[in-house]
């Protein structure tokens, strides 16, 4: 690890990434666009951009921000098709995102429920890094920093344009630190703080929850006694569809026969499986 963090940035490849989503809440909301740009020492090497059919309506607030409508994503590939291609695109490179917890929250949930295995790399955050380098900035949103540092940006709030602006911001921070030939990953991590990772870990189902695993494998229905966040207990008949991790909590995506729609159930709120 010491050798890895001591490497200068001039020979390390990064991928700046950005997501557009149906709303602001991972697990509840879904990804509608992924954009990314691969670069090394300020040179663009490749890019990635795909719209995603979220199989749910996009909130009016999200459409007002990013301009992506339900009609634009209808019939596009679902995340089950797009995310494996994006993980392949990432490869062994180091991801960079602006306000990384947002993007990582959405990605790790889908990565875990789709059983994907990205490389274990730190995710750098261009919202955190500039705070020490540019303490007099009026704000640390991507828009504010791009304007403050005169970073060329396209139409922000679309995934590829935001990823390119994120790359520009990262390169500007590296230049402020002395350039890629004099800056190491360790230097960046000192400003970044504890980095996040796209590796969410394995979901282990204890003996009481093994019926969920069997139902996932066979497509069977289950009846569960479930406690909501407000404490209300109800009996639900569900058909589990997938299971993923979000901030260490296992989430079951299932078809709820009571609501006649997909719903998410926290594993730790399932009181009994019948």
What is the set of active-site residues?
157
The two three-digit tokens of residue 263, written as one number: 């719903």
Contact at 8 Å (CB) between 166 and 98? yes
Which pairs from 167-170 meet CB under 8 Å and 24+ separation? 167/14, 167/16, 167/37, 167/39, 167/44, 167/96, 169/98, 169/126, 169/130, 169/142, 169/145, 170/14, 170/16, 170/96, 170/124, 170/126, 170/129
Residues 6+ apart with CB under 8 A from 264: 27, 28, 251, 252, 253, 254
Q: How far apart are CA 233 and CA 251, in angstroms?
A: 18
Pairwise CA distance, residues 62 & 119, whole Å: 30
What φ, ψ does residue 98 adopt, rounded to 5°? -100, 125
46, 55, 158: which is closest to 110 by C-alpha?
55
């Amino acid at each position: 690890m010491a050798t890895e963090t001591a490497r200068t940035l001039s020979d390390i490849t990064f991928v700046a990434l950005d997501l557009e989503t149906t709303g602001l809440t991972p697990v509840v909301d879904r990804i509608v666009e992924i954009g990314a740009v691969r670069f090394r020492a300020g040179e663009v090497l490749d890019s990635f951009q795909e719209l995603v059919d979220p199989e749910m309506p996009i909130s009016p607030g999200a459409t007002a921000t990013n301009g992506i409508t339900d009609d634009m994503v209808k019939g596009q590939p679902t995340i089950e098709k797009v995310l494996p291609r994006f993980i392949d695109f990432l490869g062994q490179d180091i991801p960079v995102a602006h306000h990384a917890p947002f993007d990582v929250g959405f990605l790790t949930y889908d990565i875990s429920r789709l059983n994907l295995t990205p490389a274990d790399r730190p995710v750098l955050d261009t919202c955190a890094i500039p705070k020490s380098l540019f303490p007099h900035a009026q704000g640390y949103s991507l828009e504010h920093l791009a304007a403050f540092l005169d970073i060329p940006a396209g139409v922000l709030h679309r995934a590829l344009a935001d990823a390119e602006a994120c790359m520009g911001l990262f390169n500007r921070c590296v230049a402020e630190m002395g350039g890629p030939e004099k800056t190491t990953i360790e230097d960046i991590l000192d400003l970044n703080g504890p980095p996040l990772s796209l590796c969410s870990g394995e979901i282990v189902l204890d003996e009481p929850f093994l019926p969920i695993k069997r139902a996932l494998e066979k497509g069977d229905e289950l009846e569960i006694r479930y406690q909501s966040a407000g404490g209300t207990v109800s009996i639900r008949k569900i058909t589990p569809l997938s299971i993923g991790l979000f901030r260490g909590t296992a989430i079951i995506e299932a078809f709820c026969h009571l609501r006649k729609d997909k719903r998410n159930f926290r594993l730790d709120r399932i009181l009994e499986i019948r």
